[in-house]
Amino acid sequence: METQLSNIMKQLENIEQKDIIKRVTGRITKLWEPKTFNGPKGEFTIQGGEIEIDGDHYGLKFFNQTHDSDKLKGRTVTLVSTRGKHGLNGVTLDHESFSKKDGEKVDRDVIKVTATGKIEIDGEQQQSAPKSQPSIGNDSDPGAALEDIVKTHLYVDSLVRIAYKDKGYDEETLRSYVSSIFIEANRKGIAIKAQAPVVSLDPADWASAIVPSGSNKGKKLAEIGKPALKKLYAFYLEKGFDSDFGKCVEQAGADLKLDDEGGDDLPDIEW
């Protein structure tokens, strides 16, 4: 029995600070919910806990991988480093010193597990919870994937121009905002679904409202000319001014007194 205990005690016996640990087995005694932080290289997650190895207690930190605390707490696990193009990596011995909120000082060794480290339970490898990625393409059809990316970029472009329309920014600034937002959303794994942006229209500023359909689609109400505006007003007078755009047309009619003018001689315009 003493010989067996002696062998177990040697798991980390010759491991120094910052050394790579090929594999080590212990029991996870505590595991908290992961937290997200922003650093110089972007966003990252840390899931902290504690692990007992050969009777000694160590801190435990998973970097950029998360696990179900209820599933792992109290379980005996094996933490395993993997070999990549930069050699063996994934599990290391580290050290930390800090003070808790109650003033208690902590000075302990920590088992650090990065994204390349693996965790096994009963010989089976456990998968970290996957991080969501943006759905902007179709890997099986490169052409469709490119079309999706273009549509998504146009959607972000529309959002930026609507959000900053009153700022007076020049074209170069707007384009830089579009690029930075598109890249940042992709980096953070934000799924972007290209769709018509929701625009809040102010009837008092009806001249800036964009025509949503018809032969004048995409133009501002102030740009379509009075004959076309009268035709549009007649259309919504019959349909009802319930939509935001309809309310803008209604206000335009009131401001221009379109109710007082005849419309029989107006050209036939599709809306």
Kindly tell me if the per-residue pLDDT of 1 is higher than 70.
Answer: no
Q: How far apart are CA 32 and CA 179, in angstroms?
A: 37
Question: If pLDDT is split at 50, 70 and 90, which confidence band does 234 have?
Answer: confident
Cα 205 to chain centroid, rounded: 34
Max mean pLDDT among 128-137, 195-204, 222-231 falls in 222-231
DSSP 3-state of 159: helix
Q: How far apart are CA 47 and CA 65, in angstroms?
A: 8
Kindly tell me if the per-residue pLDDT of 201 is higher than 80.
Answer: no
Cα 196 to chain centroid, rounded: 20
**DSSP labels, 210-251:** BP-SSTTTTSBGGGS-HHHHHHHHHHHHHH-S-SHHHHHHHH
CA dist 210 → 21, 66, 85, 124, 194 (Å): 63, 46, 54, 59, 19
Q: Which two tokens stand for residue 212?
A: 């949503």
Q: How far apart are CA 117 and CA 36, in angstroms?
A: 19
What pLDDT does residue 266 have? 39
Q: What is the reported pTM?
A: 0.46
What pLDDT does residue 126 have? 63
Q: Which of 27-41, 87-101, 196-210 has the lowest mean pLDDT?
A: 196-210
Question: If pLDDT is split at 50, 70 and 90, which confidence band does 219 have?
Answer: confident
Which of 26, 29, 22 shows the shortest CA–CA distance to 8? Answer: 26
Q: How far apart are CA 33 and CA 46, in angstroms?
A: 9
**List of residues 6+ apart from 243 with CB closer than 8 A:** none
Question: If pLDDT is split at 50, 70 and 90, which confidence band does 141 have?
Answer: low
**List of residues 6+ apart from 260 with CB closer than 8 A:** none
Q: Which of 31-35, 141-145, 194-198 has the lowest mean pLDDT?
A: 194-198
Which of 14, 7, 12 shows the shortest CA–CA distance to 24? Answer: 12
Q: How far apart are CA 76 and CA 171, in angstroms?
A: 59
The CA radius of gyration of the chain, in Å to the nearest whole number, is 31
Q: What percent of the chain has pLDDT over 90?
A: 18
